[in-house]
Homo-oligomer: A and B are copies of this chain.
Amino acid sequence: MSFVRNAWYVAGWSREFGEALVPLTICAQNLVVFRASDGAITALEDRCPHRLLPLSHGKRIGDTIQCGYHGMTFGTDGKCVRVPGQSNLPASAYVDAYPVLERHGIVWIWMGEADKADPALAFDMPEFSDPDWHIHHGDQLHIRANYLNVAENLVDPAHVSFVHPTTLGNAASENVPVHVKTSGEAIVAWRWIRDAEPIGFFKKFGGFAGNVDRWHYYYLHLPSTAVIDFGSADAALALPEEERDKGVRIFALHFVTPVEEGYTIDHWMHLRNTAVGDEAASEQMDAMFRIAFAEDKAILEAIHQEEQRPQKRKPIRIAIDKGPNVYRKRIRELIEGEATDDLGEAEMPVFVQHD
């Protein structure tokens, strides 16, 4: 198992959860999710402890779920409140309840030890609360690949020219070196392509006539949230790194949720400092993103297939792999840390700060 358990994972957007019992799987754990009458979202283990029928095959009775087989009924805390045919409620009659956090229209579920579920550990950024920024919740991308490959791809600027030649990249960036650093628990890879033709995306949305300076900053937060800060500004401005807000700037967010070892959902959305309030622009951007993400999906699924086949020799690593290499190492440390929690080392591993 390659999952980090003590983490918030995105289950979906707020608009996706209501009255209905929604079955979903995170870190190979089946969950049933619904919004109770007080508006709070409940996430329970989706398996009746009696005969194992998924509770999502049952039905809601008020704020409880009644199993579809023999009617055992469970509250939002997972405890059994009714066993038809008997008056006592056995102590073993419960399902696991998972901490849920809802913020900025995003629903997170904590897949590890409940007492460690600190809301401060869920990803946030000030632009979510800034009216000058437009927030647009996108869609889900389902990928038949391990989540580490999906996340790694998001801290990897080098693939853009080859996988997305007509949307997010172009040949101008092929040989521009990639910088990598760590910043707290995040890994950051970035590059600036100065004084070059704008890429398709900004031709369309930036309205640039001549050459631009273009930046791509890839932040990968553990275990698997990626923030891609990209944008362009007129090359004549010679924009300094710290003044990116003066250009057309977009934060593309990817909340990468492991479903099974070989199945991942990328919940993607974006924030932007242009076309605020313009839903037509959001749809145009989504359409462009969909093309690009389908390109990633094709590559990642082909690799996943290939990884299932026998390996003749170890894969090689090259210069552009700096970000992925640090990422893999940190994930291994997190997973090993969780496996040895019983020795009393329960905190998140401390990383050396390089920022």
A285 to B335, CA, bound (A): 57
Contact between chains at B57 and A299 (CB < 8 Å): yes
A177 at the binding interface (Cβ < 8 Å):
yes
- The size bracket of the interface on A is 35 or more
A315 to B90, CA, bound (A): 12
Contact between chains at A307 and B84 (CB < 8 Å): no
Nearest B residue (CB) for A52: B306
A66 at the binding interface (Cβ < 8 Å):
yes
- B contact residues around A92 at 8 Å (CB): 313, 316
A318 at the binding interface (Cβ < 8 Å):
yes
Contact between chains at B93 and A320 (CB < 8 Å): no
Q: Which of A157-165, A240-248, A264-272 forms part of the interface with chain B? A: A157-165
- Residues 271-326 of A contacting B (Cβ, < 8 Å): 298-299, 302-303, 306-307, 309-310, 312-313, 315-320
Q: How many copies does the complex hold?
A: 3
A50 and B299 in contact (CB under 8 A), knowing A71-B174, A84-B175, A162-B66? no
A51 at the binding interface (Cβ < 8 Å):
yes
Nearest B residue (CB) for A317: B50
A315 to B94, CA, bound (A): 11
Chain B CB within 10 Å, residue with most, of A47, A177, A318: A318
A107 at the binding interface (Cβ < 8 Å):
no
| Residue interface bits A236-263, CB-to-B below 8 A is 1, else 0 | 0000000000000000000000000000
- Residues 143-169 of A contacting B (Cβ, < 8 Å): 156, 158-159, 161-163
Which residues of A pack against B, CB within 8 Å? 28, 30, 45, 47, 49-54, 57, 66-72, 83-86, 90, 92-93, 96, 156, 158-159, 161-163, 174-175, 177-178, 298-299, 302-303, 306-307, 309-310, 312-313, 315-320
7 closest pairs, A vs B, by CB? A86-B319, A85-B320, A52-B306, A71-B162, A92-B316, A49-B316, A85-B319
List 6 interface pairs A-B (beta carbons < 8 Å), by A numbering. A30-B309, A54-B302, A70-B158, A83-B318, A86-B319, A92-B316
